[in-house]
Structure 1
Amino acid sequence: MDPPTGPSLGPHDYDLLVIGGGSGGLAVAKEAAGLRRKVLILDLVAPSPRGTERELGGSSLNMDSIRKYLQQASLLGKAIQHCQAYGWRLKEHVCHSWSELVEGVQEQLKTRSLELKRELKSAGVFYLQARGELVAPHTVEVTGVNGRKRRLTAETVVITTGDRPQYLGVPGDREFCLTSEDLLSLPHPPGRTLVVGGSAEGLECAGFLFGLGLPVTVMPQPDLLPGFDQKMAEKIENHMIVSGVDFLYNCSLAKVEQTEAGSEEVVSGDSAPAPQQASRGRLRVTIISPEGRTKQEDFDTVLLTVGRKAFTSGIGLECVGVQCSQDTGRILVNESDQTSVDHIYAIGSVQHGRPSTTGLSVHAGTLLARRLYRGSSILCDYSNVPTVVLTQLEYASCGLSEEKANLTFGEASVEVYHSYYWPLEWTLPARNKNSCYVKVICNIPDRELVVGVHVMGPNAGDILQGFVAAMKCGLTKQQLDATVGLHPGSAQVLSSLTQTQRMSEALMVRGNC
């Protein structure tokens, strides 16, 4: 393993060295290389405990793609159910092929990884599939896939190692449970699945699997969508329950055992018998009820979605004095994304106390490179960051949750405008009229400044995007009301909100609602 050589613009081997191939790292590297700096990316990520390989681009970029593909697979199944209302007649029985979905998605991820490597090369970024560890100021020990080591120096180092799924530490979790990144490594459909955890990825996976016709049970640990608006979380939960997803509340996972081993697919040669399909194993799960009683249930798959942990251990942060939060293990940074060591920066989900999305990491990485090498002073704005939960009924939000707004400004200063809406395309198949919902949270004393927008419905993320730009410009409720709605689109509901939660609650008290 020989790192690329060549002159840098300073006394070090590289002007910029990025540890980790996450979306923010790719962005800062390409932008810096475009500004004629010598840049190296080190990215060697070990497989998951179940052996799933990780592609270049980091967990956020690759998992975002997987999330969207899986949501679309589920939505297509729902569309087939309702197509007759639009005059379509199916000539044959429709079924889903798990193996074809897995093959297609995995091929797309590999193609995307190759494209990223070509982009790096075209931008002039050096890339090594190697592990980097800080061993001294400005010095990184590089370990290649063959174990060979070499030390390189860099004027500036950026940490973008991302995060990894967490395990619960109960017997059998690493041996028999999957995480979201392992789901598409299964050679067979997951069957009856227990989703442990009510995080965004947990509800997304539960909705996707249920949309494929598989029985799903969700066991929150303990809350649904922690960090999100809790009234919106309840609406998503209600939609899933009405659809048929089971929930186990206030329970905890104690143990997972395998009662029946599965088999992998056997590929035959020309003269061998026909290939045998892979078969699922069987898992027995020990669950502790709210009353402390123990019960056991059998599942085909147990999926852990109990949060993610920053990958900050083993890269030498303590050796050079980079400070991390004792509670989260994430790196402490200032407003410039700079760590406690002047020449070391951190981008993305390794940062402590900040939101993390793929788009935000790319934006932050680009701005960091411009501050370092173009004399820019523009900082990344970590407020009003949009996010989307790709459940079957999509949920997108930007700004404050209702709980956070009440805590920040006081309930008397917060007005919440809200409405259910019925997408026109849902009317012919008579889909549930009271599922889709929006609310706009305003700070009354500050000209009813819009401090939070929440949308639940088809394509919620795309609907929200334009309103994010408006919020960046200081959108008020008066300006929102003055916006002309685009008919017959669903987004127009946001420009015609007249009912507040206070009004709705008063009507309920009087028995008029």
Structure 2
Amino acid sequence: MADYDFDLFVIGAGSGGVRAARVSAGYGAKVAIAEEYRVGGTCVIRGCVPKKLLVYGAHFAEDLHDAKRFGWEVETPTFNWATLRDNVLADVDRLNKAYTETLDNNKVTTFLERATIAGPHEVKLASGKTVTAKVILIATGGWPVIPDFPGAEHGVTSNEVFHLDSLPKRVVIAGGGYIANEFAGIFHSLGSSVTLVNRSDTILRGYDEQIRDRLLQISMTKGIQYRFNCHFESIEKKEDGSLLASFCDHDPVEADLVLFAIGRRPNVEGLGLDQVGITITPHGAIPVDAHNKTNVDSIYAVGDVTDRVQLTPVAIREGHAFADTLFGDNPRTVDYDTIPSAVFSQPPLAGVGLTEAQARNKLGSIKVYSSDFRPMKNVLAGRNERSLYKMIVDATSDRVVGLHMIGPDAPEILQAAAIAVKAGLTKADFDATVALHPSMAEELVLMK
């Protein structure tokens, strides 16, 4: 490998890229990584980590209200957006530094500038410098989709929403996926009037129908407005800085913020893929084989840029498997079966395995068990919000093939339960487990 400047050059220092770089360097490879913005990637810098902190902050609105029923005399609380925003961004700074130190400690050379592919073994940096590598790994992640209609430039995406100068009083959110529903819950809890606009009549496609319907019911009861089968026509910015969002076949809505959360696309624009003949899918993703190799032998890709499963833990596993395979003498692939996922809405929902509809289509004969209950805390607080747990069982083998839930701490509970589903445990195994009482999680072993 002496003919190259580096054994491995990683383009993109997000979760997948950093893991691949660190592990490869640990195996003795000479590694470089380039990042044009900040080390840490979407999840750490402008995604799941700062968003989860906003979710925590927003949930205090309900907690402070409920505290009175538990004997706490709470004076009328006030909320300061700038305090939450600045503390969240400070934690992002901390994580950015921690990720950078991880690379430095593993002797990875970091280039804080844009990098593009100039050849099968060549990378060109924004400074004009060209470096060579035996292997190139693309880990540039995804980028928010911005719609094309008059005035769309007045909207923001999840990239900018963490930096707002003030809390908007009226928010229009475009989209029906997890980002849209999470920010709907955040802004509503913080006191904003929220209207969620969706092009179809379904939110959270891919999640169990009863679970997502329960979230819709709870959200509408709380006061979040929904408009289905609704398409943007234009956004007009008024003299006072407010926005007027107009739609096809729907009344216009006045807003202080329009947030686009209509999906994310692989971040490949201007990357130089055409320089080496790397093919992309119709949706702009880089197709790879089971070992993350593109159609060019020396170039690989992991994470959201491949558009396989857009989840941070998946990108990390792909990056680790790549390093093990190429530099650790331990060829392995990632198992994409039975991946748990969650939506940090209010309340949150989570699921693993087959939904009821998927199981009926795939297995035919199934049994569905459920528990629809009001959590103990909600009862005392006088909150009518109900949780729903569902267990999908293969009627032939008694194997649990899916678990889906909505309610307080659902993602925390599901992570442990997902192990049981992944391991192929049966309904009888769940039934044989003694309940941990009193808890919400005990419903998993009490369903009849």
TM interval, shorter chain, is: over 0.9
Partners of 1:486 and 1:321 in 2: CA distance: 57
Matches of 1:297 and 1:466, distance apart in 2: 43
> Aligned partners of 1:407, 1:348: CA distance in 2, in Å?
29
| 2:226 alignment counterpart | 247
Tell me if 1:167 matches 2:146. yes
Aligned to 1:234: 213
Give 1:130's match in structure 2, choosing from 100, 109, 113: 113
Partners of 1:231 and 1:323 lie apart in 2 by 39
1:356 paired residue number: 310
1:381 to 2:359 alignment: no
The residue that corresponds to 2:166 in the other structure is 188
Q: Once the 2 structures are TM-superposed, how far is the Cα of residue 475 of structure 1 from its aligned partner?
A: 1.8
- Does the residue aligned with 2:300 lie in a helix, a strand or coil? strand
The superposition leaves residues 353-386 of structure 1 with CA deviations (integer Å, 9 ceiling, x where unpaired) of x222111211221122111112113311111111
Q: RMSD over aligned Cα, in angstroms?
A: 1.5
| SS of residue in 2 equivalent to 1:235 | helix
Aligned-residue offset at 1:227:
2.6
What per-residue deviation string (whole Å, max 9, x for no partner) do you get for residues 161-211 of structure 1? Answer: 01111111011112x101122112111111111111111100100011100
Asked if residue 313 in structure 1 is aligned to residue 269 in structure 2, the reply is yes
| Partner Cα separation in structure 2 for residue 88 and residue 438 of structure 1 | 31
Task: Tell me the CA shift for residue 389 of structure 1.
Answer: 0.4
- Partner SS state of residue 428, structure 1: helix
Matching residue within 32, 37, 42 for 1:40: 32
8 Å CA contact 2:184–2:196 kept in 1: the answer is yes
Unaligned runs of 5+ in 2: none
In structure 1, the residue matched to 2:377 is 425
Q: Is the 8 A contact 2:44 2:95 kept in 1?
A: no
Task: Report the structure number with the largest CA radius of gyration.
Answer: 1
Q: Is the 8 A contact 1:481 1:496 kept in 2?
A: yes
Distance across 2 between alignment mates of 1:30 and 1:421: 46
Tell me how far 1:303 sits from its aligned partner: 0.9
Please give the alpha-carbon distance, in whole angstroms, between the structure 2 residues aligned to 1:425 and 1:142: 55
- Count matched residues: 446
What secondary structure, in the 3-state scheme, does the structure 2 residue paired with 1:332 have?
coil
Residue 92 of structure 2 is matched in structure 1 by 109
Tell me which residue corresponds to 2:391: 440
The amino acid of 2:446's aligned partner reads S
User: In the aligned structure 1, how far is the partner of 2:433 from the partner of 2:139?
Assistant: 40
Structure-2 separation of matches of 1:485 and 1:377: 41
Q: Structure 2: how far apart are the matches of 1:60 and 1:347?
A: 15
Which residue type is aligned with residue 16 of structure 1?
L
Structure 1 residue runs of 4 or more that deviate by more than 6 Å after TM superposition: none
1:84 corresponds to which of 63, 68, 92 = 68
For the Cα contact (< 8 Å) 1:180–1:205, is it kept in 2?
A: no
1:15 corresponding residue in structure 2: 7
SS at match of 1:260: coil
Kept in 2: contact 1:18–1:159 (CA 8 A) = yes
Q: Which amino acid aligns with 1:129?
A: L
- Counterpart code for 1:84: K
Q: Tell me the equivalent position of 1:24.
A: 16
- Given that 2:141 and 2:304 are in contact with CA atoms closer than 8 Å, whether structure 1 keeps it comes out as yes
Amino acid at match of 1:242: T
Q: Which runs of 5+ in 1 are unaligned?
A: 1-8, 46-54, 262-280, 499-513
Q: Secondary structure at the match of 1:285?
A: strand
Residue by residue over 1:422-446, the C-alpha shift from the partner in whole angstroms, topping out at 9 and shown as x without a partner, is 322222112225x21111112222x
Is this contact kept in 2: 1:167–1:173, CA < 8 A? yes
Confirm whether residue 333 of structure 1 aligns to residue 317 of structure 2: no
Match runs of 1:240-279 below 5 Å: 240-261=219-240
Whether 2:242 is the aligned partner of 1:282: answer yes
Partner of 2:255: 299
Q: Deviations over 1:76-103 (max 9, x none)?
A: 110000101111002x321100111111
Counterpart in the other structure of 2:193: 215
Q: Aligned with 1:309: secondary structure?
A: strand
Equivalent residues of 1:419, 1:439 under 8 A apart: yes
The answer for the alignment partner of 1:120 in structure 2 is: 103
Contact 2:15 2:40 in 1 (8 A): yes
Q: Alignment partner of 1:241: what SS?
A: helix
Q: Deviations over 1:472-503 (max 9, x none)?
A: 221222212222221112111111111xxxxx
1:6-50 CA-to-partner distances (Å, cap 9, x unmatched) read xxx5421111111111100010111111111111111114xxxxx
**1:295 CA displacement:** 3.4
TM-score normalised according to structure 1 size: 0.84
Question: How far does the alpha carbon of each residue in 1:83-137 deviate from its partner, in whole angstroms, 9 at most, with x for none?
Answer: 01111002x3211001111111111111211111111101111111111111211
User: Per-residue deviation at 1:406?
Assistant: 2.4
SS at match of 2:175: strand
Give SS of 1:369's match: helix
CA deviation after TM superposition for structure 1 residue 408, in Å: 2.1
Instruction: Give the distance between the partners of 2:143 and 2:357, measured in 1 at CA.
Output: 28
Distance 2:430 2:276 in 1: 50
C-alpha distance in 1 between matches for 2:56 and 2:136: 38
Q: Deviation at 1:400?
A: 2.0
Q: Does the CA contact (< 8 Å) of 1:397 and 1:464 recur in 2? A: yes
Indicate the percent of aligned positions where both proteins have the same amino acid: 30
CA distance in 2, matches of 1:229, 1:260: 44
**Is residue 421–residue 493 contact of structure 1 (8 Å, CA) maintained in 2?**
no
Contact 2:44 2:92 in 1 (8 A): no
Kept after mapping to 2: 8 A contact 1:355/1:385: no
- CA drift at 1:288: 1.2
Q: 1:89-100 alignment to 2 at 5 Å?
A: 89-90=73-74, 92-100=75-83
CA–CA distance in 2 between the matches of 1:142 and 1:397?
42
CA–CA separation in structure 1 for the residues paired with 2:108 and 2:39: 14
**Partner in structure 1 of residue 157 of structure 2:** 179
